[in-house]
Amino acid sequence: MHASTTELAGKVAWVHGAYGAVGLAIAQELVRAGAYVVLSGRNADALAQAAAQAGTADQAEALALDISQPDSIYAAADALNDRLGHVDILVNSAGVNPTKRHFKDLSLEEWKNTVDVNLSGTFYTCQATLKGMRERKEGVIVNISSWTGRYAAYFAGPSYASTKRAVLALTETINMEECVHGVRATSISPAGIDTPLLNKRVPPPTAEVRAAMLKPQDVADMTRYICGLPPRVCINEILMSPTLNSNYLGEFQTQKRPTPRLP
């Protein structure tokens, strides 16, 4: 998309994980579509830089928050509604996955952090924002899940795969309960996005593989499309992947199991 338009003029969007590669691309695309965007994340300095990249002071602002801390999320949602009048679009793009991610290495601390951010944090922002959407009888929620949330993959590890699968269920229940209030929710499950998060894989994908992957802008374009649809349209789930689909072709260098001993 990329061109500036006005299809989201007058809308307020709240984007979490907004200084990550995907979150920033989404924030920038929503600004291009005419929305006022509130960018949130843990790191205040990185967030300020992201807001400056997303748009001018009258197009975007930074609001530093830890998505895993519910009290601050609920207070921020109320404050945004009071100050801006409404939050029309919520995007949950925050996500973590530890480097030592498999059962034999995964620490309890890393498991808890992944659940706190990827799942509990998404629940907090959805519940906090739904209050105003429900009252106004309108709203769009986009939760970034993962292909590994829909289809298990060894390289993802149990904490990431489990939380991303749970995000699909969380999104489904929003549509079950809130469709009667004019709220619609979409889970986007991308496979193989070329972001710095890939550097945590052991081993990371090669440069050749990364060149064929989805880019953050691809997810941003999809998010903008969803948010610009008429209120009568709900896209429940999107599963997207590179044309050279690594989930089928096995491009990622998954460590193989040893040959089992035969009796």
Q: Which residues are catalytic?
A: 160
The H or E element spanning position 37 is: strand 36-41
Contacts of 7 (CB under 8 A, 6+ apart): 33, 34, 228
Choose among 186, 177, 172, 176: nearest CA to 93. Answer: 186
C-alpha dihedral, 70 to 198 to 26 to 212, nearest 10°: -160
- CA-only gyration radius of the chain, Å: 18
Dihedral (CA of 234, 127, 112, 172) sign: negative
Contacts of 258 (CB under 8 A, 6+ apart): none
Choose among 124, 126, 223, 224: nearest CA to 175. Answer: 126
Token pair, residue 196, equals 């710095």
Please tell me the distance from the alpha carbon of residue 216 to that of residue 197, in angstroms, as a whole number: 12
* Contact predicate 213/147, CB 8 Å: no
